[in-house]
């Protein structure tokens, strides 16, 4: 948890979804100054509340923030074996835009999905 807190202090945006003090999900975004891209690196929703709009709300808030901040594009990264996340990205209007086969320490392939904001 300590390393996560240190990492989050370096993010441009951290959004947390909670109810009655219980964590439902979170999303963090880094901001690449040129060419005005926001990268969603941490995005998780508790399994017990998935498919209830929590992820959609988090993503919508991030998209609104990115648009107001003048970003031109959002990118989400996910593991190639995370089929539910891939489907979620595509349902929300993100299109496949690349991969990196050395991104994760686990040697899993990272897939990138992007969305133009302007």
DSSP per position, 23-41: EEEEEEEEEETTTTEEEEE
Structure tokens at 25: 């999900």
Banded model confidence at residue 67, pLDDT cuts 50, 70, 90: very high
The residue-averaged pLDDT of 24-34 equals 84
Q: Which tens digit of pLDDT belongs to each residue from 91-118?
A: 999 999 999 998 888 889 999 999 999 7
- CA gap 101, 40 in Å, rounded: 18
Neighbours of 68 (CB within 10 A): 8
The residue-averaged pLDDT of 8-30 equals 85
Distances 57 to 62, 103, 113 between C-alpha atoms, Å:
9, 27, 18
Banded model confidence at residue 4, pLDDT cuts 50, 70, 90: low
């Amino acid at each position: 948890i300590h390393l996560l807190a240190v990492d989050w202090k370096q993010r441009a945006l951290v959004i947390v979804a909670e109810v009655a003090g219980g964590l439902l999900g979170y999303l963090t975004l880094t901001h690449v100054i040129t060419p005005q891209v926001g990268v969603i690196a941490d995005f998780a929703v508790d399994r017990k509340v998935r498919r209830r709009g929590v992820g959609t709300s988090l993503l919508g808030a991030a998209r609104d923030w990115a648009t107001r901040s003048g970003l031109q594009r959002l990118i989400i990264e996910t593991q190639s074996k995370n089929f539910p996340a891939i489907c979620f990205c595509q349902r929300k209007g993100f299109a496949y835009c690349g991969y990196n086969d050395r991104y994760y320490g686990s040697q899993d392939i990272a897939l990138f999905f992007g969305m133009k904001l302007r």
